[in-house]
Amino acid sequence: MRITAAHITRQRIPLAYPFITALRRVDQAEFILLRLETDNGLVAFGSAPATEAITKETLKSIEQALKRHILPALKGVPFDLDKMTQAVSHSVQGNSSAKACTEMALYSLAAQQKGLPLYRLIGGKETRTLKTAVTVSLNSPETMLKQAEGFFFHGFDTLKIKVGSIDGHDSTRIKTIAAALPEATLLVDANQAWSADETLRIIDRCDDIPIALIEQPVAAADLVGLKQVTEYSPFPILADEAVFTAEDAERVLAHNAADLINIKLMKCGGIGGALDILDVCRRYGKRCMLGSMLEGPVSITAALHLAAANPDMFEHLDLDSPLLYAALPPDLPFTVQGNTYAL
């Protein structure tokens, strides 16, 4: 089997409401869609959003990485998943989303070639329903409470509360939502916005609330601060922007600087990179969140297969983009009811 054609297009899906974090505001999910075709008639897709604030990639840079480096590295090579994913990994520095986009299409081709669903190809035994958190965007405490209540009363019981505002009201945001929705599971994501000292103060103010975890409170590069917070916090600390790759996970966990690791295909370059991080976490006896950017359905599907294949490793899923679309695209390879996916 050989890849005979690759098509790259830009796609966008409007959101029901804007997605706001400490790093950015987005009104639509925009992503690159890659379509690979083979000489034996298989077709596979990959996709990647531009999350410049996190991976430094734009739609244009993803297109260029695909056209100039990644796809040429696969040209004319007989299909072999290991060799091809190695070739993708070595084709260019960085560009983790462009690599993830290509790699998920290669995994899909390998699965199709073997007649297996992707989760089976990567070691899973059965599918099960997969529950995701849903994001409450960063806004005034009142607006956030309204959105949180709206989600909760629609059955979305795990809420990812985006904080990290410079207005000094982050603990009010958390406490207001916790007081109104005591049954909700609250994941607090500061997207690197706090200093270590600030984080300790906010933890003190919230120590009567059962926060399920605090995600990346301090800057990605501040390993000392992350460790300080992890040692102090009664709540589990989740490393997100601090961990792109298995090497990052190794460094963070060796320093005891986090309790959990947030794996995202777009950070680690795809399914292979994610499996490598899972290996590191298993070695340290740590579990993970499987997160996502604001993504299209193709990359969310790949993440769902990864989650289905590793049910013991993911404490939380944060794959909520499809729940935020203004309308679900037709012909999805998964179903979603409320906050629960099935493959």
For residues 120 and 131, give the distance between their C-alpha atoms in angstroms, rounded to a whole number.
20
Annotation marks residue 215 as catalytic: yes
Tell me the closest approach of the beta carbon of residue 7 to Mg ion, in angstroms: 31
Count of helices and strands (H, E) across the chain: 15, 14
CA angle 319, 324, 325 (to 5 degrees): 110
- Pick between residue 34 and residue 294 the one whose CB is nearest to Mg ion: 294
Tell me the closest approach of the beta carbon of residue 124 to Mg ion, in angstroms: 25
- Pick between residue 240 and residue 276 the one whose CB is nearest to Mg ion: 240
For residues 270 and 99, give the distance between their C-alpha atoms in angstroms, rounded to a whole number.
7
Annotation marks residue 207 as catalytic: no
Pick the catalytic residue from 215, 222, 250, 320: 215
| 3-state SS, one letter per residue, for 127-146 | CCCEEECEEECCCCHHHHHH
- Pick between residue 74 and residue 136 the one whose CB is nearest to Mg ion: 136
Annotation marks residue 227 as catalytic: no
Annotation marks residue 247 as catalytic: no
Pick the catalytic residue from 160, 264, 267, 286: 264
Pick the catalytic residue from 240, 241, 259, 276: 240
Report CA 18 to chain centroid distance, whole Å.
Answer: 18
Tell me the closest approach of the beta carbon of residue 252 to Mg ion, in angstroms: 14
Annotation marks residue 82 as catalytic: no
- Pick between residue 111 and residue 133 the one whose CB is nearest to Mg ion: 133
By CB neighbour count within 10 A (0-12 exposed, 13-18 middle, 19+ buried), where does 185 fall? middle
Pick the catalytic residue from 57, 189, 222, 295: 189
Given the structure tokens 């493959």, which residue do they identify? 343
Tell me the closest approach of the beta carbon of residue 302 to Mg ion, in angstroms: 19
- Pick between residue 189 and residue 198 the one whose CB is nearest to Mg ion: 189
Give contact residues for Mg ion (rule: CB under 5 A): 189, 215, 240
**Parallel, antiparallel, or unpaired for β 335-337 and 340-342?**
antiparallel
Q: Where are the alpha helices (DSSP H) in the chain?
A: 52-55, 59-65, 71-74, 81-91, 96-114, 118-121, 141-153, 170-180, 196-205, 223-232, 246-254, 265-268, 271-284, 297-309, 321-324
For residues 205 and 201, give the distance between their C-alpha atoms in angstroms, rounded to a whole number.
6
| Number of residue whose CB is nearest Mg ion | 240
Residue among 147, 94, 93, 107 nearest 302 (CA): 107
- Pick between residue 6 and residue 193 the one whose CB is nearest to Mg ion: 193
Tell me the closest approach of the beta carbon of residue 164 to Mg ion, in angstroms: 10
User: What are the residues whose beta carbons fall under 8 Å from the beta carbon of 277, sequence distance 6 or more?
Assistant: 243, 245, 246, 249, 261, 263, 268, 288
Tell me the closest approach of the beta carbon of residue 237 to Mg ion, in angstroms: 12
**Could you list the active site residues?**
162, 189, 215, 240, 264
